Structure 1
Amino acid sequence: MLDPLPEIGPAVVTYAAAECDSVPELVGSILRELETLAVKLFPDWLPEGEKLDGPGGGGMAAARVLAMRMATGTRHFGPFLAELAAHAIQHRDPFALGLRSTRSRAFPAEVRAAGLARVVGAAFRRCEVALVVHVPEKLSSHGETVLVAGCEWLAHQSGMGVWLVGPEVKRVETVHLKVPEAVARLAAELPPSETPVEILRVPPLRGEPARYSEVEQAVEKALFDCPWAHGREWNQTYASTDSLFVTIRTDLMWAREKCVVELDGPEHRTAAKAEMDRLRDRRLERDGFAVLRFTNEQVLDDLPAVLRRIKEFLLGRRLGLNEGAG
């Protein structure tokens, strides 16, 4: 329901909350996760950040300069942004990955909350950010009080919209969302997930492979050296007039050749997800697209075979396009 959102929507971050003993503990946990996310999203939130060298090449100093320049005339707080950019550059160095810089954490929690929210929004080119907090099952009365108070603090201090989903909690108005019948039916059939839930997650950035996906990163690394792979677009949205799929996010697309490549993780093996994929693929095929699906195992076990299949299809489509043009 949240991916992909319209262009006017906020950047959405999902957080799997755990019961905490105090508000500072909860807030600290969320801010640490947001800082880790900001580092992973670098340099998408810093203009010209992709040109910076590593720590040994003056990159940290240059990152601070670019961050201060970015903050000029915007809502960003320059000193915090500069330290966060330097921290991100530090973690580009494989020898520095084990280091845990605390300089950006020297700022008050209020500054970190507002600064991190703005950075995440900048990475997704969105003006606003929403934090979707999954409420734990069987939350104690004290844990519920802490969760609500912490979320209220975050909403006030960070400027993010904070949405609680799951079991109802006190002091928060409950809104029941009406979803399309087909989506509700399929969701009800989903079995409990056996894969560990990530604490913090965001949709992939448009135009590049998801940074948390080993499979997407491996495919892009291989395609980068393939001349025939030109024209590829990662994680783009395709507009559809279908009432169920207003927009569709594709893993990998060649728009001219009308080829979509989907890389399926274990969640696609459930009956409900498989049915949703079938409906989605049918919508694309009605619009002239071909959908090639590969499992994560296929990609990791025999990437050359996956690339050959994609190459054969693309070259065949291009031959047909060229003959049609002639």
Structure 2
Amino acid sequence: MSDWEQELLTSTDAPAVVVQRTAGSSSQQTTVAAVLDELEATARQLFPTWLPGAEGITTSAGAARAAVRRLAVAHAAATAQSGPFLADLAAAALTGSTAHTRRHHAEVRARGLARVIAASFDRPGCALVLRPPDHLDETATLALAQAAQWLVDHGRLTVWIDSDSPYGIDSRPRATEPPRAEVTPPPIVTPPARPRRESRVSTRRTPSVIGKPHPTSRAEVVLEAALARRAWAAGRAWNHTVRPGPLVNPVRVDLLWKRERCVVEIDGDDHRTPGKFTEDRHRDVMLQLNGYAVLRFTNAQVLDDIDNVLVLLQQFLTNRRRTGKGP
């Protein structure tokens, strides 16, 4: 666990952290537009977490679209947000169409999306970790830095650029405060450079958020609610990056007890496919060779037999602590 990630996980004022891969465009405007599109995809998948009163609306049939628009306008008025944008975003979450949200000015989109993502995780703000392709040229590096600065200045986001570019992007980690109105936006900083795991997942996938179970994973949310009531579960961290060893690429795990070197994965149906199954086994072996234990449960096990999952986790962690296994 790096120092900058540890700070985000432990601070009570930490923002919700969204990790995005960028395409490395040579245009600031194109880069900003792509980042906002990915943030919007995240916000749509987090719906209805950020819109109180919309929990029971799951389809766009009948009067559902009009209902969420009314809820969004009322919520925006109570929270000093843009009512038209929030209404369009809520409707887009139901229909999958982005035709109306893109009509709003980029600054309105950036601020609105940052607010709803932060609200989904009950955090005071939203931070972006931008991960560009390796070895950007000077033009693309400048465009990325300018886009990140625009997001800080106009979207009130905290932004980190995770890059090994030699063209002037600051690589020194610095602490930043979550962005707030009337406060000077924090600087763009870069966490320490580290190897990246090659990803076969489409960039359209909802970006990971560090520190909490993902709201769109019912199994993660249910398990965290159960663990929060148990003292033996202290020390856990959700959706966190682990580097198994100095020569091993970092991997993202669902749930981690760092001191006990215990990794827990919650598997959906997609983990049954041959490609995903092979990838999981490779990750497990890499983690196990470097001292981590990997426990895997299916969504069905967590949702249908949570008591048994808790018994197994408690037993394993108790044994691990008694024998002193860990770092």
Task: Give the TM interval when normalised to the shorter protein.
Answer: 0.5 to 0.7
Separation (CA, whole Å) in 2 of partners of 1:124 and 1:143: 32
Q: Give the AA of the match of 1:248.
A: A
Shift of the alpha carbon at 1:70? 1.0
Higher-Rg structure is 1
Asked if 1:63 is matched to 2:79, the reply is no
Once the two structures are TM-superposed, the CA of residue 21 in structure 1 deviates from its matched residue by 2.7
Query: Residues of 2 paired with 1:268 and 1:27: CA distance?
Result: 33
Question: What residue in structure 1 maps to residue 88 of structure 2?
Answer: 83
Measured after TM superposition, the shift of residue 155 of structure 1 is: 1.1
The alignment covers a number of residue pairs equal to 259
Q: Give the match for residue 39 of structure 1.
A: 44
Say if 1:131 and 1:163, in contact at 8 Å, map to a contact too: yes
Deviations 1:240-298 (A, max 9, x none): 3xxxxxx4339589xxxxxx9643745632535653634xxxxxxxxxxxxx8227xxx
Moved more, 34-43 or 269-278: 269-278
Q: Distance in 1 between matches of 2:161 and 2:208?
A: 16
1:104 paired to 2:101? yes
* 2:65–2:91 CA contact under 8 A, matched in 1: yes
* 2:292 aligned with 1:277: yes
State the 1:29 CA deviation.
Answer: 0.8
> 1:312: Cα distance to partner?
8.9
Within-5 A mapping of 1:239-258: 239-240=234-235, 247-249=236-238
Of 139, 146, 162, 1:165 maps to: 162
SS in structure 2 of the partner of residue 14 of structure 1: strand
How high is the TM-score relative to the length of structure 1?
A: 0.64
What is the alpha-carbon distance in structure 1 between the residues aligned to residue 121 and residue 306 of structure 2?
A: 32
SS in 2 for 1:130: strand
Deviations 1:115-152 (A, max 9, x none): 11111111111111110111322111111111111111
2:111 touches 2:155 (CA, 8 Å); kept in 1? yes
Pick one of 9, 17, 22 that aligns with 1:12: 17
Correspondence for 1:127: 124
User: What's the CA shift for 1:103?
Assistant: 0.5
> Does 2:27 correspond to 1:22?
yes
Post-superposition shift, 1:170? 4.4
Confirm whether residue 196 of structure 1 aligns to residue 200 of structure 2. Answer: yes
* Cα distance between partner residues in 2 of 1:27 and 1:314: 47
Inter-CA distance 87–145: structure 2 relative to 1 (3 Å threshold): same
Contact (CA 8 Å) 1:49, 1:66: kept in 2 or not? Answer: yes
Q: Counterpart of 1:12 in 2: which secondary structure?
A: strand
Deviation of the 1:59 alpha carbon: 1.1
Q: Secondary structure at the match of 1:201?
A: coil
* Match in the other structure for 1:294: 296
List runs of 5+ in structure 2 lacking aligned partners.
176-191, 240-253, 257-262, 268-279, 315-327
Per-residue Cα deviation, 1:132-184 (whole angstroms, up to 9, x for no partner): 11132211111111111111111111100111112145454331479xxxxxx
Q: Which residue of 2 aligns with 1:175?
A: 172
| Separation of aligned partners in 1, 2:84 and 2:255 | 38
| Counterpart AA for 1:239 | A
Q: Label 1:75 to 1:169 Cα distance change in 2 as closer, same or farther (>3 A).
A: farther
Q: Give the superposed CA RMSD.
A: 4.4
Does residue 138 of the first structure (1) align with residue 135 of the second (2)?
A: yes
Letter in 2 for 1:249: W
**Residue 287 of structure 1 aligns with which residue?**
none
CA distance in 1: counterparts of 2:94 and 2:159, whole angstroms: 30
SS at match of 2:78: coil
**Can you give the 5+ residue segments of structure 1 that lack an aligned partner in the other structure?**
92-99, 179-186, 241-246, 254-259, 279-291, 318-326
Provide the secondary structure at the position in 2 that maps to 1:73.
helix
Contact 2:9–2:211 (8 Å) recurs in 1: no
Question: 1:40 and 1:145 mapped to 2: Cα distance?
Answer: 31
Letter of the 1:203 counterpart: V
Instruction: Tell me the TM-score normalised to structure 2 length.
Output: 0.64
